[in-house]
Structure 1
Amino acid sequence: MKYLLSITIAGLLLFVMQASAQDKFAPYTVKSSKGHPLSISETKTTSIVFPFDIISVDRGRKEVMVQKAKGVNNILLLKAGRTSFPETNLTVITADGQLYPFILNYDHNPDSLYLSFKKTGNDQLTKSNKQSPNIATIEADFIAIKNAKPAPVWLKKVRYGITLGLQDLYVNDNVMYFQFSLRNCSHVDYTTSSFNIFIKDKKQRKRTATQEVACEILATDGDYQLIKGKTVQTFILAVPKFTIPDKKKCIIQLMEKNGGRNISLKINNSRIIKAKLIASNDRTEL
């Protein structure tokens, strides 16, 4: 009787051990995906926004042109290097370890130029309004402005060897671009504390506070933070399109860090409305 009981217990233990081993060494669940379909063109730039910084990009063919957007690490810009290339793929890995596969095809006029991954467990792609300003459009406009024939400085102010000049104004849809030159004619380096564009009252009435409205700077191209002695820098600021209301004025203000070489320019509405248009065929994207 004891012998039969021992056999039964041994059999139960063997069964439990085999089941546990099968669970321990069970194969991993394989998740496969062909990739998110995406069309790109040789004349337009497609932007993809990821929820985390991009750490790796692999393209299936050299005809696919890719680069990170300037100044940010989570936006990828894509463009076709030539027309009608064969279907290929693109793989992006972000800092959180997530892998994003794409299947790329050529389309001269893609339905969407902007894709965004939200921070959700479903990794859903959402399409934006193509008319809204995005960083790809602004980057393309920066390139067009820099490729344009240089304009002479028409508004400038000099203070202690520092010259701030406004070269030109441009507009495209709802974005306005100010192109500046900043020259340091002294041997003392100039470090910028702040650079602001704002609208304020022309005259301040007694016993009332002056009202100022700052213009949001959407993006910049070029460096104005440090101007070495005997050098000159050109840079562009992108701001939301605006005009100046009656009894108001637009002030462009440059402030030096730990110094007194502060400069202000005043621009009127008659000049704002003469901003040059950046036509789509003037833009060289990517």
Structure 2
Amino acid sequence: MKTSIKLFVLTSFYVLLNSNFLYAQAYKAPDTIYANDHQQVALFFPAPIRQAVTGAPYMVFTYNKDHPQYFGLLQAKEGAISNLFVIDQQGKVFSFVLKYREDLPHFYYFFTEEDAVGSEAPLKKNSVETAKAKSSPYLERLSEHFLRRAKGTLRRRENSGVVLQVKDIVFHNERFFVVMEINNSSGISYEPDQFGFYISTKKQGKRKSMQTLPLEILYAHSVPEKVLAGTTDRFVVVLPKITLPNNKEIMARLFEKQGARNIELKLFKRHINGSNKGK
């Protein structure tokens, strides 16, 4: 009798486990996630969460930073539409639209690797040093020249008093010299942790997701270790020759070390194809 009960319990547990697995596999993750301020919404990812940031303070996504887990909890107060970026420990990047809603359609969401909008392959500080070591004095002189002459601003994005700008893009000798600037008008020093360029292809369809691939960085000049409060630092990133069709764009992503002041800045066809000629 005891053996029969044990078999029944094990069989029931097996069926329940497989039913939940099949449901998760069949579940189609949406682009838009709804949340409110009196219920928790759980988001489950294929790997533990490494970093996450929302676009507005009234959208709050909490996750375990000390001991990374596969899920995070979302709550929101009524306000304008916002967004959420999540990067897991496998480098997969997830992007969602966030909306407030009094009656929630779901209390949990399961995501797979296929739901990611791209993969992270940022330029880390040791990669910057490697790029410098492999560069020639020729690239260093050119970078310094374009750094000094850059005027105006092509693109800018801000997050909590930290502004990332593209000051100039110069095409010279089959390379793009991108002059960047970090302006820190906040009261706290800013330490760049990871910085990289990515080329994105807009995928058509219901979800309209982005396929993102990292761009090789040929040389990096004067990338700051720290931008003090109230100061500005400029640097140059050298990229290979790029031609952008209408369905592609370039993203510059800057992540803060041990912080959430992360910035994503887009460059379009008109910026790349209309770049200045180097002299």
Structure 1 length as normaliser, TM-score? Answer: 0.48
In terms of fraction of residues, the more helix-rich structure is 2
TM-score (norm 2): 0.49
